Amino acid sequence: MVLCTLLITGWLIWYAYVHARQDIDQYNRLLASHLSLQIDNTLKSLWQLTDPTLKNGELADMINGPEEALHRRMVELHHSVPSVLRFMVYNNRGVLVGSSHELPARRVVINDREYFRFLQNNRSDQIYVGRQTAIRYDTLPVIPIGRRIETANSGFAGVLSAPLDYRFLQGWLDSLKLPNNFVLMLVRTDGEMLVRYPMLYSPPQDSTQINAVKLLEHHPVGQPYLFNDQLKPGELKLFGVIQQLEHSNLIAIVGVEQSAALAEWRDLANGYALLGLTILLGLLFVWWWLGRHFTALAETEFRWQRAQAIIDASPDMVFALDSNGRFQYVNDTASQRLGYTGRTLTGSNLTDIAPNLPLITYIQHYQHLRADYTRNIESQLRCASGEILPVEISTKLMSMQESELMIAFARDVTQRKDAERELARLTERWQMLTVSVCIGIAEWDVSHNLLDCDPIMVEIYGFPSQQVSVDGWIASIHPEDRPRIQAEMDTIQRMGGTIDTEFRIVRQDGVIRYIRGYMLMERNSDGTPRIVGLNIDITDRRRAEAMVQTVLRVTSTSVGEHFFRTLVVELARALNIRYAVIGSYSSDKGNYRMTHTLARAERTRLLPNIEYQVQGTPSELAIDQKVCVYADQVQTRFPTDFRLAEMNIQSLVSVSLRNGRGDVIGSLAIMDDKPISDPSQATTLLTIIATRTAAELERLQAEATLKQEQRYIERVLLYSPAIICSMSTDGLIRRINQAYQVITGNVPQDAIGRTWRDVFASDIDENLVGQFLKRGSGEMEHTIFSRSGEARMLIWKTTGPRTGEGDAADIIAVGVDVTMRRSAEAEIRKLNAELEKRVAQRTEQLQASMRELESFSYSVSHDLRAPLRSIGGFSTILQEDYADKLDENGQDYLRRIVNSAGRMSHLIDDMLNLSRISRQRLNVHEIDLAPIANQIISDLRFAEPDRRVHWICPSTLTANADERLIHIVLENLLRNAWKFSAKHDEATIEFNVYEDFGKRVYYVKDDGAGFDMRNAARLFGAFQRLHDASEFEGTGIGLAIVQRVIHRHGGSVWAEGEMDKGAKISFTLPPPDPSQPTDIEFENRSDDDEAS
């Protein structure tokens, strides 16, 4: 340990030397920087003041201008920099032309030519410091400082010189009061010493040169340079710093004498040796202290573990966070409540789970804690499940060994927030209740015997102010109720508790009001009683109750129409109004049309009932609204209701009457020829009575409906052609209708009291009859004989036993006479058999006729072709060989013969095509019509490539059809569309499908010539044309072929169009019915001869 102490002491001595050098160097740097800064500030001030004047050429212009202007400018600069003796301006020849002081009478030329030539030849952004000299006007030493003056085109215009007072610099250095062993110097870059502290040379010091300038030859300007040397012979050795100024040719030198520095170091080394001995003793003490300290640390660790266990068991969430809001510790309660693990939260930021607590707010709170300012924070924490948890956070700073942590205790305040919201809701409801119910509140100041009343209390009682005496309040109570109220007040003062009572008051204006009062007495913390009272004005309610009791008392013994008449009279009397009306609505399919009054009264006189339309009257509004109130000017609201004007009605209150289902069945209304003063009272009374009135009206309507149904049932029983009887469960007939007499010839009274089996089915087993009657389902058919012996066939159905009035079980049996129907059915079966035979015969005849027709068509077409070919052939020979022997008329006739023969040939071909359609067998299956249509349009485009036609067709159009025949249909339809749209420069043809009531409707549409819909019936006839042959070519057989093919498929076809706007041909192709034959087979014949 001794060796260790010696090593440490030696190291401390070396460290003392190094530290002393560092302190000296650091102090030298600071002093050099301070000296450089002072000189730089002076030069920069001069620079900033003169820079704008020099750069914009202003001073260059002033040199050749008036002398007074240049003098004023120099005076301004001198006032700004007092350390400068004066400002002088020399022109480009070195002649003084301006000064901040008065110019001498004789011509003055600058005497430092080196100074002048340097500024003349160097740039203007450098301040040049000249040699130390004495100015011409006195013997004081100065340091000349100057800047180059340039013209606008950067030419040399002169020099701005500012001699710096040597005494100013020397005085500033003296003011620093540095120790005697410190040396400060200000030197030019050429080595000339300008200023030295302490001063060893008398100024000017032109001959004082130092060689320290060479040290800065390769050193950056503005950076300090350390040295350990003599600056010149005769100078002391220094530990020093050299620093060159940035904007001038000056160097600042600061140093301390080496002998003084080493003496200081020796003193410090002795101190450190003593310190080494002290450290040795200190180590022994530390060895003893560490033993005790580690023991304390172990105890602290134990206490921390125990505190951590307590924190983990805390019901509050506990966090430890650093100054940046990062979690360092999270207790188990926080992990369980938030759903995060401690490892997940550790290192993350508080703002990650507290979205409404930005980081800047956390940092501000942290700073407040450092200033001993604490407050709780209400925030929200986001759980791992996404739930937002409201919390209240209390915080405290805790200093650790190496850091400072903020301990945050977060308490879940969800229940408290819910309670606060519930309290706010209850407070709002209480405020709304006090305003809507007009609750007056007063507090009894027992010590001063005064009542503090709120505005509603003042309004109820009519007090002149909100503070009245208790005696004054008691005096306002009705004399009959006053003793009771005084006794109750004495009781509550002695025993406490609450009072709930009703009493009357007499306002100062003489108006009597009914009050319901609540009084509560409780004691303050000091034991003084505090009595609060609530007063509710129930005058309107008491009056309404009185009127209701009066009206109900009068009408309680009345029912039906008498109830309505009595009610309107009593309402008019109770409310002191002119008219009272009860009306019933009649509706047509849910729309209310008419109002029929059930009772009308004018004062106490009943008026005749009337019926009027609901529209435009108050009754129309009462249907949609439960209550309608018009306290005045009701006629302006319903100007079309002339009855209001006839009766001079000014005010109206109406309440709708509704049945048990909520439907409006009528209205109860009062009307007056003057405004109603208190419509709320009338509304309350009508609302109370409306329920009883609606129930009575619903009862009357139910009775009327029941009577109507009974009359209807009686008519049904009377005029029904079926036998209807009701019987008991043992089959005894209790009632039977007149149809029994019509069918059997016996009177109904003969059947009553007998069993159903004896009357109608005596030949059927009794058990079967009993089962049929009690089963209540199925039917029985059997024959009975009438009184005249005629057989009647009846079909019986029963309802089975049903519970009726008095719990008697009834069976309803209905017997329908089907004698005529059975005879008709037999006759129909006979006729059907004969019809089937005749159909077979007609079918055979039709097939024979079709074969004959086919044979005839073949013969006609074959026999016509031979002479037609002769006519056409010989006509062609005449045109080719003898055309020159015919005149123009003959050639025209010949062309007509050839054209007519060609048309005739086409007609024969079309007839053959039409006949082939009927002979071909159908092969119906699912096909795609879109490729067929596209191929047809492609062929038409190829034939006429110059046509511009916009073709619209979906990519797929499926249908169930014969592919060969449907190809004929599409070709005819699309060629027609192509042909009839040829006269349009740009045409549009569309082939598409749409759904119509479950059927697929295909159509071909164009925008061509169109047709008149009056001629639509002719379109599908053979050889029918709606356009001239010279306008559009063709034979008129195409649509007839289309119709025949579509009909063969079982579909339909129709046409729509408009002249010059196009046509639309639509057709349907229903799916084939496999139960029906697709076609009638015809004889297939070869068409080779026809084609030839």
The predicted structure's pLDDT at residue 969: 87
Q: Give the model's confidence band at 807: pLDDT under 50 very low, under 70 low, under 90 confident, else very high.
A: very low
Q: Which of 208-217, 584-593, 1042-1051 has the highest mean pLDDT?
A: 1042-1051
Report the range of poorest mean pLDDT among 593-607, 901-915, 990-1004.
901-915
Domain regions of the chain by residue span: 13-260, 314-418, 437-536, 542-559+570-697, 720-817, 920-1091
Q: Give the model's confidence band at 353: pLDDT under 50 very low, under 70 low, under 90 confident, else very high.
A: confident
- pLDDT greater than 60 at residue 135: no
Mean pLDDT over residues 816-844, rounded? 86
If you classify domain 920-1091 with CATH, what class do you get? alpha beta
Mean pLDDT over residues 218-234, rounded? 60
Q: Give the model's confidence band at 1086: pLDDT under 50 very low, under 70 low, under 90 confident, else very high.
A: very low
Give the CA dihedral 585, 588, 593, 594, nearest 10 degrees.
-50
Phi-psi region of 836 (alpha: psi -120 to 50; beta: other; left: phi over 0): alpha
**Per-residue pLDDT tens over the stretch 424-467:** 777 666 666 555 556 888 888 877 888 888 888 888 888 888 88
- pLDDT greater than 90 at residue 576: no
- Enter the tokens of residue 616: 């435009």
E strands, 743-829, are 780-785, 791-798, 802-803, 809-817
Mean pLDDT over residues 275-301, rounded? 72
**Per-residue pLDDT tens over the stretch 100-115:** 777 776 667 777 777 7
- pLDDT greater than 90 at residue 953: yes
Rounded distance between C-alpha atoms, residue 388 and residue 391, angstroms: 10
Mean pLDDT over residues 128-157, rounded? 70
Length of the chain: 1092
CA angle 340, 343, 346 (to 5 degrees): 95
CATH of range 314-418; options 3.40.50.150, 3.40.50.300, 3.30.470.10, 3.30.450.20: 3.30.450.20
Q: Give the model's confidence band at 1027: pLDDT under 50 very low, under 70 low, under 90 confident, else very high.
A: low
The predicted structure's pLDDT at residue 1029: 53
The predicted structure's pLDDT at residue 934: 93
> 512-531 burial, b for 16+ CB within 10 Å, e for fewer?
ebbbbbebebeeeeeeeeeb
The predicted structure's pLDDT at residue 129: 77
The predicted structure's pLDDT at residue 990: 93
Phi-psi region of 1027 (alpha: psi -120 to 50; beta: other; left: phi over 0): beta
The predicted structure's pLDDT at residue 267: 66
- pLDDT greater than 60 at residue 212: no
- pLDDT greater than 60 at residue 589: no
Q: Give the model's confidence band at 765: pLDDT under 50 very low, under 70 low, under 90 confident, else very high.
A: confident
CB 1069 within 8 A of CB 1051: yes
CATH 3.90.79.10 fits 720-817, yes or no: no
pTM: 0.34
More confident residue, 885 or 478: 478
Rounded distance between C-alpha atoms, residue 246 and residue 39, angstroms: 10
Mean of all residue pLDDT scores within the chain: 77
- pLDDT greater than 90 at residue 1002: yes
Question: What percentage of residues in the chain have a pLDDT greater than 90?
Answer: 4
Helices (H) and strands (E) in the chain, counts: 28, 44
The predicted structure's pLDDT at residue 989: 92
Q: Which of 517-526, 604-613, 864-873, 901-910 has the highest mean pLDDT?
A: 604-613
Rounded distance between C-alpha atoms, residue 883 and residue 876, angstroms: 10
The predicted structure's pLDDT at residue 119: 76
Mean pLDDT over residues 277-301, rounded? 72
Give the CA dihedral 207, 208, 214, 219, nearest 10 degrees.
-120
Q: Which of 112-121, 379-388, 846-855 has the highest mean pLDDT?
A: 379-388
Q: Do domains 542-559+570-697 and 920-1091 have the same CATH topology?
A: no
Question: What percentage of residues in the chain have a pLDDT greater than 70?
Answer: 72
| Range 359-363, long-range pairs (CB < 8 A, 24+ positions) | 359/324, 359/325, 362/325, 363/323, 363/325
Rounded distance between C-alpha atoms, residue 858 and residue 374, angstroms: 119
3-state class (DSSP) for residue 806: helix
Q: Give the model's confidence band at 1079: pLDDT under 50 very low, under 70 low, under 90 confident, else very high.
A: very low
Q: Which of 598-602, 884-888, 913-917 has the highest mean pLDDT?
A: 598-602
- pLDDT greater than 80 at residue 177: no
Topology of the domain covering 542-559+570-697: Beta-Lactamase (3.30.450)
Single out the residue of 1034, 1039, 1035, 1041 nearest to residue 1020, CA to CA: 1039
3-state class (DSSP) for residue 102: coil
The predicted structure's pLDDT at residue 1084: 37
**Per-residue pLDDT tens over the stretch 959-1000:** 988 888 888 889 888 988 888 888 788 889 999 999 888 789
Mean pLDDT over residues 918-937, rounded? 84
The predicted structure's pLDDT at residue 511: 83
Beta bridge partners of 677: none
Exposure of 342 in the CB half-sphere (CA atoms within 13 A): 12
Reduced to 3 DSSP states, what percent helix, strand and coil does the chain have, rounded to the nearest 5? 45, 25, 30
Mean pLDDT over residues 871-889, rounded? 81
Rounded distance between C-alpha atoms, residue 45 and residue 38, angstroms: 11
How many CB atoms lie under 10 A from the CB of residue 839?
11
The predicted structure's pLDDT at residue 1075: 53
The predicted structure's pLDDT at residue 1088: 34
Rounded distance between C-alpha atoms, residue 607 and residue 565, angstroms: 10
The predicted structure's pLDDT at residue 1080: 39
Topology of the domain covering 437-536: Beta-Lactamase (3.30.450)
- Enter the tokens of residue 316: 């509050």
CATH number attached to the domain at 13-260 = 3.30.450.20
The predicted structure's pLDDT at residue 988: 92
Question: Distances in Å between the alpha carbon of 438 and those of 215, 272, 457?
Answer: 101, 93, 8
Single out the residue of 1044, 1034, 936, 1033 nearest to residue 991, CA to CA: 936
DSSP string covering 379-438: EEEE-TTS-EEEEEEEEEEEE-SS-EEEEEEEEE-HHHHHHHHHHHHHHHHHHHHHHHTT
Residue listed under structure tokens 């759904």: 995
More confident residue, 623 or 1024: 623
How many CB atoms lie under 10 A from the CB of residue 887?
8
3-state class (DSSP) for residue 50: helix
Q: Give the model's confidence band at 60: pLDDT under 50 very low, under 70 low, under 90 confident, else very high.
A: confident
More confident residue, 272 or 698: 698
